[in-house]
A = this chain, B = another copy of it.
Amino acid sequence: MTRMERANEDLTAKARIRDAALRLFAEQGFEATTIRGVASAAGVSSGLVRHHFGSKEALRDACDVHALDHAMAIKEEAILAGGLADSTFMAAVYPSILLMQRYLARSLVDGSPSAAALFDRMVDLAEQWAQDGRLPTRPDDPRAFAAALVAMQTGLLMLHDQVSRALGADVLDASGHIRLGRAILDIYTHPLLTDDQAAQARAAYDQLQARAPFSSAPSAPAAAGTVTKGPRP
Contacts and interface: CB of A to CB of B under 8 A. Distances in A.
Interface of A: 29, 31-32, 71, 75, 84, 87, 90-91, 93-94, 97-98, 100-101, 104-106, 108-110, 115-116, 118-120, 122-123, 125-126, 129, 134-137, 139-141, 143-160, 162-163, 165-167, 171, 174-175, 177-194, 198, 201-202, 205, 208-209, 213-225, 227-228, 230-231, 233
A209 B175 contact: yes
Given A116-B162, A155-B151, A190-B135, A233 B184 contact: yes
A187 B156 contact: no
A185 B198 contact: yes
A231 to B, nearest CB: 5
Given A31-B32, A178-B208, A213-B91, A167 B144 contact: yes
Contacts of A190: 135-137, 139, 191
B186 A188 contact: no
A48 to B, nearest CB: 25
Nearest to A201: B185
18 contacts: A94-B220, A105-B224, A129-B228, A129-B230, A135-B192, A136-B190, A139-B183, A141-B179, A144-B182, A145-B187, A148-B187, A149-B227, A152-B153, A152-B187, A154-B155, A154-B159, A177-B221, A181-B219
A141 B183 contact: yes
B166 A159 contact: no
Contact of A122 (B87, B110, B167, B228): B228
Nearest to A225: B71
Contacts of A218: 90, 93-94, 97-98
A231 B149 contact: yes
Contacts of A147: 162-163, 166-167, 180, 183
Given A119-B224, A120-B165, A140-B186, 18 more contacts: A94-B214, A101-B224, A106-B109, A122-B224, A123-B166, A126-B228, A139-B183, A145-B187, A147-B167, A147-B180, A151-B155, A151-B159, A151-B163, A152-B187, A154-B223, A171-B221, A174-B208, A177-B221
Given A156-B155, A223-B101, A205 B233 contact: no
